């Protein structure tokens, strides 16, 4: 028996962390074994890479170097956490996964998408999520939400507004290219409405009957 792998994607402050917590609660209430994780990170080795990836100046590395580091962290994450959890039948909910590399380092950062696809194939073969929920939001609204939270900006939050506009479009393009796997949810709706759409998507795509 294999579990299900669900990823949440979108720009900063889109509401991924809020949604993932609500989904985990709902699934656990149904007696499902749930693993909540995030990228970059999720394992001790990948969390070390997260620390250096999210700090320092924006030009610390080129986008290609970032993509390689993201995949180094991702392979560790899949090998040591995600794949074993799926094998024992758990549902894995990840705050970001490979689509973030396509969007941030590819579309917004300038690495050709074909090179990122080759990198994915070399690192993880055909491994991909069963369902990806993309929270779409105006980047200014999302960044305002994270500022209101009072935390220091990460390296990525300090990139220019053009970068964040390209990101938003990149996630919409990813959804259009793979409609079987991806569903776009309006992240500017209330947290309750976003949650309802997400639960309906999980029921529709995975036959989960959570509603
Ligand atoms: N990155 C990359 O470049 N390449 C890659 O391959 C990967 C990642 C995997 C990870 O940062 C960074 O790594 C990320 C991309 C890059 N860029 N940045 N920055 P992170 O994990 O620290 O940041 P994030 O993913 O953008 O998360 P976030 O800023 O915490 O946003 P969020 O999780 O989507 O939102 P939230 O925490 O749920 O909500 C933000 C605030 O809004 C909070 O106060 C909520 O209470 C509030 N909120 C949430 N939902 C709503 C609704 N519906 N209405 C009103 N307010 C809401």
Extents of the domains making up the chain: 5-206
Model confidence at 194, pLDDT cuts 50, 70, 90, reads very high
Per-residue confidence band for 148, with pLDDT thresholds at 50, 70 and 90: confident
Q: Is 135 exposed, middle or buried, given 0-12, 13-18 or 19+ CB atoms closer than 10 A?
A: buried
Among the listed residues 39, 60, 180, 64, the one whose alpha carbon sits nearest the alpha carbon of residue 118: 64
For the CA of 187, the closest atom of ligand 1 is 53
Domain made up of 5-206: CATH architecture: 3-Layer(aba) Sandwich (3.40)
Looking from the CA of residue 70, the nearest atom of ligand 1 is 6
The predicted pLDDT at position 107 comes to 95
Average pLDDT score over residue span 59-75: 97
| pTM as predicted | 0.96
Cα gap 182→132, rounded to integer Å:
5
Q: If you take atom 50 of ligand 1, which residue's CA is the nearest one?
A: 15
């Amino acid at each position: 028996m294999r579990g299900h792998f669900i990823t949440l994607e979108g720009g900063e402050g889109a509401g991924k962390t809020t949604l993932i917590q609500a989904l985990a609660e709902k699934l656990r209430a149904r007696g499902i074994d749930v693993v909540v994780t995030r990228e970059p990170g999720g394992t001790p080795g990948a969390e070390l890479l997260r620390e250096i990836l999210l700090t320092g100046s924006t030009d610390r590395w080129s986008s290609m170097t970032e993509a390689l580091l993201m995949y180094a962290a991702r392979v560790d994450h899949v090998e040591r956490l995600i794949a074993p959890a799926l094998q024992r039948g758990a549902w894995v909910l990840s705050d970001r996964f490979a689509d973030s590399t396509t969007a941030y380092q590819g579309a917004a950062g300038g690495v050709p998408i074909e090179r990122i696809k080759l990198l994915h194939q070399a690192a993880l073969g055909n491994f991909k999520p069963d369902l990806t929920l993309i929270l779409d939001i105006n980047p200014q609204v999302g960044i305002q939400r994270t500022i209101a939270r009072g935390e220091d900006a990460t390296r990525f939050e300090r990139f220019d507004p053009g970068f964040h506009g390209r990101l938003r479009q990149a996630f919409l393009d990813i959804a259009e290219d793979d409609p079987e796997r991806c569903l776009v949810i309006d992240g500017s709706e209330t947290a309750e409405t976003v949650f309802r759409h997400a639960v309906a998507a999980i029921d529709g795509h995975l036959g989960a009957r959570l509603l």
